[in-house]
Structure 1
Amino acid sequence: MTAGLPIEARLDAIQAALAAHSRALLVAEPGAGKTTRVPLALLEAPWAREGRLLLLEPRRVAARLAAGFMAESLGESVGDTVGYRMRGESRVGPHTRLEVVTQGVLTRMLQEDPLLEGVAGILFDEFHERSLEADLGLALALDAQSVRDDLRLLVMSATLDVEALLGVLGEGTPVIDCPGRTFPVATRYRALNAREEAAPQQARALLDAMGQQAGDALVILPGVAEIRRLARELSNRSPELAVMELHGRLPLEAQRRALRPDPEGRRRVVLATAIAESSVTVDGVRLVMDAGQERVPVFQPRSGLTRLVTRRVNRASADQRRGRAGRQGPGLCLRLWAEEQPLVPHGEPEMRQADLAPLAFELARWGVTDPGSLAWVTPPPAAALSAGRELLGRLGLLDAEHHLSELGRRAARWPTHPRLAAMLERARALDALPLACALVALLEGRGLDDERDLEQALQARLKAPREHRQWQRDAERLARIAQVSLKVAGLAPLGELLALAYPERIAQRLDVPGRFRLASGGLATLPDHHPLAHAALLVAVELDGEASGARIFRAVGLSQKRMEVLYPECGEWRASLAWSDAEGRLIGEQVRGLGAVVLERRPLAKPPAEAVRAALIEALRRRGLPRDDVLTQLQGRVALLRRTFDSDEQAAWPDWSDEALLASLEAWLAPHLDGITRLDAVERLPLARLLLDTLDWPLRARLDELAPERLPVPSGASHRVDYAPCREGQPPVLAVKLQECFGWQASPRVAEGREAVLLHLLSPARRPLQVTADLASFWANGYPEVRKEMRGRYPKHPWPEYPTTAEATARTKRRDRS
């Protein structure tokens, strides 16, 4: 066992918490030893002796390393008492009692056995990363725990939003804090010149810092491309250094080498992605250079595409990175940005920026149609969930009520994205199942970035599988599930398979070579010299995520005949109407095709009312809701109540954000569009009243009580409350002359006193004097200065020395005396 770790002093408290409660939170700073000591200690708990423990890790490399370290500390091999399980790889045995699993594995285990028979407890490690799979795993585990009250849950992290988690786990959940074992870390800042290439500047900054700080260096960069550029620069400047890469695309042995001292005794520079931010400790590191950036996938519900965005790192992540320099001795953190550069406090949960099609599929497998019936730390955003369900419906995996279809039930056996699972399940009908297995292994594998031509990349792997070991293992694993041999007859069905997985990305060439219309309605482009620039139809497998004019990175050609076989609805004529901004009217015709891919057109005599409504709704989604102050105020009032009250009542108040309203136009607006053919007529509809009519009467009655439109003030007048800021999570605002507030002891409150109103106190000329949500503090501390300054400027208005006992008024002193 590892001695001397800070977590040792907290093990008894953790044991006691889980002996008395089924849930607990552990907030342990970096270096405390939580990942490897807590699971082994809990194996000795009476409640754990008859079952297994699951330890969830966010990354595969962290899972392997944690399992290896714990097994070694027991003097055993991995697969004895401690094992690990991840997609495509498992080392567990008949006596394994602690399984280190990646987050997706937990979801599959729960889906296959909702009661998790034989599992005594689940430990969620590094939960602060807030991955989509961790959030889903916790929600499903809590649901399972409602039936199995003997199942223990422990959520662990270096940083946790304790209040938010207690809202889900229960206010009585014990919270254990543990300090980390860290040494002093000096922090220096060195902003880069944006007009120069980054890699040479980074190399100079790093070498300068290494001249001042002993030990090895860890450099955290946003992606593999940046790592390779800096690696080349350092190799040219300082060939005596051992420059190593650490990222998820590397083979396991290369990852392990990066974590160990150099066998030749050279000084190391480890260039890593955010994989080194948590979980993994790189021995010997005393210098951390942080580029201050992260690269994250952000899903765009309107386009249905995901875009990789490089952005400034958040403060919590920057602090985590800094701490890596002080794990084993005093260190130095060099931050490549200006010290005054502001950072947001925390990162966004992946739930708010991810493609939710996999989540929607797992919810349907779990038997949940209303995500509000589960306990979420961050509920799924309505628009992204709707987009995910729309995709699953197009793939044939869900029915209209969001239940699994027959195809969906069969596709659940595949450990892959739902769109690829749908393709695998339908590939047998094309006599192309071996090719489908090879293709999925390629699409979900690593190392494809440098190969733009998908057909060539696949052909290279099929010809020399031993040169692509990981692809071979993944493809063979899928072939075993399919019960077929991995013998591919040819690549002819490749376009058809991809069309099954990406129906919304089937694209039709427009008049200009290289310019295509996607079936989803967006535009996409290829360079005019690309071999597929003149293709009539293609499937865009990878795009950059721009909603208009997306660049196609990988594509495969598709014949019209095969598309019509795959999608028989292409033979059906349908009315198509679209709003023309140029002409200011709806333009209609009859078409047949797939979505916006039109194979044939003919005139439309009279558009059906349903088609008119659909066209107007689509135009509104493209342009956004009309900005109407009455609607804005209503949205703010409901947003305030939705976030203020407990979970039961919160579920009752609807989500009326712009995003959610645009996603649900069919439900609340479409019934009122009969006879309307122009957008300006839609904009004149009383949208706020239409929304109010959808509220249950008890909620509608409580709305005015909890979030009144106007508030009385001590002067006897009443003033309008501005709830627009509540749409962004801010408090409501009341702008009122300061003299009208005399006599108020404290700030007014709404929502049964749970929310203070932000007062904008105005001068007699209605100019801002003070903004406060704590009126009592203002009277005591701010008012004397305001009084001193304003008495001479506005002598006709009262400025009493004691405002809490003075008479409020909206008038001048002269009018009061008359």
Structure 2
Amino acid sequence: MTLPIDSRLDAIRDALERHPRALLVAEPGAGKTTRVPLALLETPWAREGRLLLLEPRRVAARLAAGFMAESLGETVGETVGYRMRGESRVGPSTRLEVVTQGVLTRMLQDDPMLEGVAGVIFDEFHERSLEADLGLALALDAQQGLREELRLLVMSATLDVDALLGVLGAATPVIDCPGRSFPVETRYRALNSREEVPRQQATALLEALEAQAGDALVILPGVAEIRRLARELAGRAPALVVMELHGRLPLDAQRRALRPDVEGRRRVVLATAIAESSVTVDGVRLVVDAGQERVPVFQPRSGLTRLETRRVNRASADQRRGRAGRQGPGLCVRLWAEEQPLIPHGEPEIMQADLSPLAFELARWGIREPDRLAWVTPPPAAALAAGRELLVRLGVLDEAFLLTERGRASVRWPTHPRLAAMLEGAAELEARPLACALVALLEGRALDEERDLEQALKVRLEAPRAHRQWQRDAERLARLAGVALRVASLAPLGELLALAYPERIAQQLAPGRFRLASGGLAILPESHPLAHVELLVAAELDGQASGARIFRAVALSRARIEALYPGCREWRASLEWSDEQGRLVGEQVRGLGAVVLARRPLARLPPEAVRAALVEALRRRGLPPDDDLLQLRGRVALLRRTLGDEWPDWSEASLLEILEDWLGPHLDGITRLEVVERLPLARLLLDSLAWPLRSRLDALVPVRLAVPSGASHRLDYSPCLEDDKPPVLAVKLQECFGWQASPCVADGRVAVLLHLLSPARRPLQVTADLASFWANGYPAVRREMRGRYPKHPWPEDPMTAEATARTKRRP
């Protein structure tokens, strides 16, 4: 069967023959996933090595490998194989490996040269997973520094070409390929929140099947939703051939779901988002879209990345709709209201994820400054800093963000750095089997409804075959650890969790109220068995900044905390702001973060500790109310927005971040915030401005402005702290007679917004175009005001009249 991509294969081969990198933009249905890799196998540069094809999902990797192997008349593991975490089907003759994205990162870390690999193909790059972004950044670094001959091909149905050319190079060839599609009618059918969802989904599907020929594809967010709809259809339409398509199925079942029924019966394929872009389901002319997707989202309550169900974005919805028009005119039924707003695109995962795994991989790669790599979307600085801070706390990185001995040992564990640190530390507790069982439980998808970790582990350890996925994951980790999965005792459970979650060790303040080592508050119902223990470690919180609810926790003893973290035995000065006393209160403490195991009086307050405590108290409270400071910040904000980044960012968040730099040196001897508030904050901040900028400040953004009456008035720059807002000058209208045009600041680039006032100082007009006001607005103001204020001048021609600050005419 001929596919649209076939007409572009020569161009792709030629592009990669001439250039080490290329972009392929191929619309859905073009056939890029299975045709392009096979076509590249026989190119001269690929004959001496293997090709890697990266797929974002395990099911797509298996299916793509199976389809390509079958097209060669072979089985998977011969010319074409696949590899993913915990599963591999490759052989000595394998030349094309379909791998999931995390596998490429591990391969690059183990061998930056990628010996034996001729090229890497990034498929479905538009999904912008964190692992795909990292994999491309590392592959580009390896190509530029070690393997100039390594070929990289990035392909997708939709790509931000300009952004990718920015990292791949402007000379990178771009190949476009149209898809193959027919007209698709779109209908909307919103669900009723008071009725069972599977019943409504089944009704919508059965009605659409009467209106549209061909097989049906129903796209649902997950396996649980697929199973519920399958049961509903079995009871209402037993004659339909209902098939499932998701990652938990065996490969043969996945492949059967892609093909028409051998007996010609009509099929309904219930699929996850894998059917959105990664695979093609043959025979489909009807798509029913539930309008939801499961995406990886960092969850503060667990400290891990989990799948979250949310409304689909518009780009994904359009991809799904297109599935109905691959082989003929089709119909798409969307199970939401037509007026329901959808966000245009999904956000790159790097912008919303926990970046501690990324920080760990960068340290392994030997990168301290992330901008040394080429990123399509650079990692956000704050999120990366938070990730690094966690790794330092775990003992995986040192203060210079380099791998520690524990960090180097943690490399072997294919899991989150938190859990890798736990697995490494478990050896000292002689609890590796328990750690393997616990990690498999924490990473699994079946834990959501189980609140008691200890009980959940007991159930699985007593009946492992009833929890096969957990058993497979735990045994795989045990094999890697070189131990048998035989757990003698659950006693070390608290210590293991403390290794992974040191910032969540918590101390009781009152029954059910706990102070976390990180400083936050956490709560349990007073009836909870752990509500009265002195110390515990929380494995899962709800992520609230204060008063976070504890969902899963285990009790912990003082002795075990001190054994795990010997630094707890050292005395340190502790200073806290007391709202009751209105000052800093100091003492010496031993403990872990905000968890205090012992305390004693502090004879003298160290100046540097006082300064640090004051700065922290100010950060919590925010900048003191100070109009001079507000005006200065507004002036500089206007210049930064107008003239560029040479002017500093003096937003409140930025100034609080750098408090030590501009305010810290002036806090010596101060222990009360009320004294800080009396400091000349605007002058202190101005003193921190570099002299070349300070010398230009008053000329560019003057504090006062002269008006035609001869007086000068203060400009209000506080609105400039908001985007695109100009400064404001409030002045009586009579003082502006003769002013031909609105005044400007910032080297004539920004017009001042005039608030023209009545003699009673009430606004008559707000304008940034004074000439237009004199010509068009003033006559109406004059007619109304001259009767109300007859003793004040209201000339017919304000452009030639004498400006005056007086409120009455001279006799």
* TM-score in terms of structure 2 length: 0.81
Q: Is 1:93 paired with 2:77?
A: no
Rounded Cα–Cα distance in structure 1 between residues aligned with 2:739 and 2:174: 42
- The one-letter code of the counterpart of 2:799 is R
Change over 3 Å in CA distance of 1:758–1:789 after alignment to 2:
closer
Q: In structure 1, what is the equivalent of residue 116 of structure 2? A: 118
In structure 1, the partner of 2:536 is: 538
1:108 equivalent to 2:114? Answer no
Please show how residues 62-101 of structure 1 align to structure 2 within 5 Å: 62-101=60-99
One-letter amino acid of the counterpart of residue 105, structure 1: V
Q: Which residue of 2 aligns with 1:458?
A: 457
What CA deviation, in whole Å up to 9, does each residue of 1:777-813 have, x standing for no partner?
A: xxxxxx9xx99987986899xxxxxxxxxxxxxx995
Larger Rg: 2
Residue of structure 2 in register with 1:426 after alignment: 425
- Check conservation: 1:215, 1:284, Cα contact below 8 A: yes
Instruction: Sort the Cα spacing of 1:210 and 1:373 in 2 relative to 1 into closer, same or farther, 3 A.
Output: same
Aligned to 1:388: 387
Q: Aligned pair 1:815/2:799, yes or no?
A: yes
Give the whole-Å Cα distance in 1 for the aligned partners of 2:42 and 2:577: 67
Name the CA distance, whole Å, in 1 between partners of 2:739 and 2:304.
51
**Structure 1: which 5+ runs fail to align?**
645-651, 771-782, 797-810
- Corresponding residue for 1:33? 31
SS in 2 for 1:211: helix
Residue 801 of structure 1 corresponds to: none
SS in 1 for 2:65: helix
Residues 211-249 of structure 1 show CA distances to partners (whole Å, capped at 9, x for unaligned) of 323344433344556555555555555555555554445
Q: 1:409 to 1:191 in 2, by over 3 A?
A: same
Greater mean deviation of Cα atoms: 365-374 or 688-697: 688-697
Change (3 A) 1:319 1:616: farther
For the residue of structure 1 that corresponds to 2:54, the secondary structure is strand
Q: How does 1:198-347 map to 2 (within 5 A)?
A: 198-223=197-222, 226-227=225-226, 230=229, 234=233, 237-238=236-237, 240-241=239-240, 246-248=245-247, 255=254, 258-259=257-258, 268-299=267-298, 311-347=310-346
Cα-to-partner distance string for 1:632-653 (whole Å, 9 max, x where unaligned): 66567658888x9xxxxxxx99
**CA 1:674–1:345: 2 relative to 1, 3 Å:** farther
Give the letter aligned to residue 566 of structure 1. Answer: L
Q: Secondary structure at the match of 2:423?
A: helix
Tell me the equivalent position of 2:547: 549
| Structure 1 residue 436 displacement after superposition | 1.7
Deviation at 1:65, TM superposition (A): 1.1
Give the Å deviation of 1:91. Answer: 1.6
Pair 368,680 (structure 1): closer, same or farther in 2 beyond 3 Å: farther
Partner of 2:162: 163
**Hey, what does 1:372 align to over in structure 2?**
371
Aligned to 1:563: 561
- The whole-number CA distance in structure 2 between the counterparts of 1:421 and 1:690 is 47
Structure 2: distance between partners of 1:283 and 1:725:
58
Identity of matched residues, %: 73
Instruction: Note if contact 1:721-1:733 (Cα within 8 Å) is conserved in structure 2.
Output: no
Partner of 2:493: 494
Amino acid at match of 2:606: P
CA apart distance, 1:544: 2.9
Relative distance call for 1:218 and 1:518 in structure 2 (3 A) is farther
Name the stretch that deviates more: 453-462 or 32-41. Answer: 453-462
Rounded to whole Å, the distance in 2 between the matches of 1:703 and 1:39 is 60
Instruction: Report which stretch shifted further, 609-618 or 148-157.
Output: 609-618
Query: Per the alignment, in what secondary structure is the counterpart of residue 322 of structure 1?
Result: helix
Residue aligned with 2:515, SS: strand
387-396 or 221-230, which deviates more:
221-230
Decide whether aligned partners of structure 1 residues 681 and 495 sit closer, same or farther in structure 2, where only a CA change above 3 A counts.
Answer: same
Q: Distance in 1 between matches of 2:631 and 2:250?
A: 56
Alignment of 1:545-624 (within 5 A): 545-580=543-578, 585-622=583-620
- Quote the offset at 1:526 in angstroms: 3.6
Q: Which moved more, 1:630-639 or 1:335-344?
A: 630-639
Post-superposition offset of 1:260: 5.1
Which of 5, 8, 14 is equivalent to 1:16? 14
Distance 1:304 1:670 in 2: 34
Matched, 1:149 2:133: no
* Distance in 1, Cα, partners of 2:431 & 2:728: 68
Counterparts of 2:618 and 2:224, CA distance in 1: 39
How far apart, CA to CA, are the structure 1 residues paired with 2:330 and 2:96?
34
Q: Is the contact made by 1:382 and 1:659 (CA closer than 8 Å) also made in structure 2?
A: no
Aligned to 2:786: none
Q: SS at the partner of 2:427?
A: helix
Check conservation: 2:753, 2:766, Cα contact below 8 A. no
Structure 2: distance between partners of 1:687 and 1:99: 62
Matched residue, 1:476: 475
**Pairwise CA RMSD:** 4.6
Report if aligned partners of 2:452, 2:552 keep a CA contact under 8 Å in 1. Answer: yes
Aligned to 2:186: 187
Distance in structure 2 (CA, Å) of the matches to 1:328 and 1:174 = 30
User: How far 1:538 moved relative to its partner?
Assistant: 2.5
CA distance in 1, matches of 2:610, 2:95: 61
1:599/1:157 Cα in 2 relative to 1: closer, same or farther (>3 Å)? same
Question: What is the rounded CA distance, in whole Å, between the counterparts of 1:22 and 1:469 in structure 2?
Answer: 44
**Shift in CA distance, 302/372, structure 1 to aligned 2, threshold 3 Å:** farther
CA distance in 2: counterparts of 1:311 and 1:761, whole angstroms? 47
- C-alpha distance 171-615 of structure 1, shift in aligned 2 (>3 A): same
Is the contact between residue 35 and residue 66 of structure 1 (CA under 8 Å) also seen in structure 2?
yes
How does 1:387-406 map onto structure 2 within 5 Å? 387-406=386-405
C-alpha deviation, 1:540, in angstroms:
1.8
Where in structure 2 are there 5+ consecutive unaligned residues? 731-736, 758-763, 784-794, 803-811
Task: Provide the rounded CA distance (Å) in 2 between the counterparts of 1:69 and 1:759.
Answer: 67
Question: Contact 1:517–1:596 (CA<8 Å) still a contact in 2?
Answer: yes
> What displacement does 1:179 show?
1.2
| CA deviation map 1:52-98 (0-9, x unaligned) | 22111111111111111111111122122221111111222222222
Q: How far has the Cα of 1:170 moved from its partner?
A: 2.0
Give the stretch that moved more between structures: 678-687 or 346-355: 678-687
Query: Secondary structure of the residue that 2:450 maps to in structure 1?
Result: coil
- In the alignment, residue 127 of structure 2 is paired with which amino acid? E
Amino acid at match of 1:338: A
* Contact residue 357 and residue 387 of structure 2 kept, 8 A: yes
- CA shift, 1:337, in A, is 3.1
**Partner SS for 1:429:** coil
TM-score (norm 1): 0.81
Change (3 A) 1:116 1:449: same
SS in structure 1 of the partner of residue 383 of structure 2: helix
- In 2: Cα distance, 1:50 partner to 1:718 partner: 78
Name the residue aligned to 2:359: 360
Q: Displacement, 1:761?
A: 12
**Letter matched to residue 439 of structure 2:** V
User: What is the number of residues matched between the two proteins?
Assistant: 767
Distance 1:235 1:269 in 2: 11
Q: Note the C-alpha offset of 1:478.
A: 2.3
**In the alignment, residue 414 of structure 1 is paired with which amino acid?**
W
Go from structure 1 to structure 2 and tell me whether the alpha carbon gap of 1:217 and 1:597 turns closer, same or farther (over 3 Å shift).
farther
The 3-state SS of whatever aligns with 2:510 is coil
CA contact (8 A) 1:639 1:655 kept: no
Q: CA deviation at 1:360?
A: 0.7
Contact 1:192 1:336 in 2 (8 A): yes
Query: Quick check: 1:221–1:273 contact (8 Å CA) kept in 2?
Result: yes
Residues 257 and 767 (structure 1), Cα distance of their counterparts in 2 relative to 1, 3 Å cut: farther
| Distance in 1 (alpha carbons) for counterparts of 2:682 and 2:639 | 12
The answer to whether the Cα contact below 8 Å between 1:83 and 1:92 also exists between their aligned partners in 2 is yes
Contact 2:54/2:123 (<8 A) preserved: yes
2:713 and 2:166 mapped to 1: Cα distance?
Answer: 36
1:721-800 mapped onto 2 (5 Å cutoff): 767=766
Residue in structure 1 matching 2:125, options 117, 124, 127: 127
Distance 1:266 1:718 in 2: 84
Secondary structure class of the residue paired with 2:589: strand
Using the TM superposition, name which of 209-218 and 59-68 deviates more.
Answer: 209-218
